[in-house]
Amino acid sequence: MGYKAVYCQNLRQHEHDSAAQTPALSIKRKTDLVGDLVDPICVISNANEILYQKLGKFLDAETRAYFAMIARAAAKSKALVEDLRNERDQTVMETS
């Protein structure tokens, strides 16, 4: 199954003046980000795992490698969201 390489566009990071941000605004942004990212990441991760379990024995090496790449990307995304959640919680504790 010849897949074309998929390249994700590097999204420019918005440069926010962190000194100008209030702690409450920073916490709200982190909370919104965590909430918005958790469900899609879980859906992608779960669908990938279910599809691989059902179809894995029928896949060629290249397709199995693609499933593994998706699993690694989902795991990395989960870790980044957890880091963001921990950072948010720490900020909440410091401002309390």
39-77: per-residue pLDDT in tens? 999 999 999 999 999 999 999 999 999 999 999 999 999
Look at the chain and report how many structural domains it folds into: 1
Residue 13 lies in a domain: no
Tell me the pLDDT band of 33, cut-offs 50, 70 and 90: confident
What domain range includes position 69?
23-95
The answer to whether the beta carbons of residues 81 and 41 sit under 8 Å apart is yes
> Strand, helix or coil at 96?
coil
CA 62 to chain centre: 23
Rounded to whole angstroms, the Cα distance separating 15 from 7 reads: 24
Residue 69 lies in a domain: yes
- Predicted model pTM: 0.70
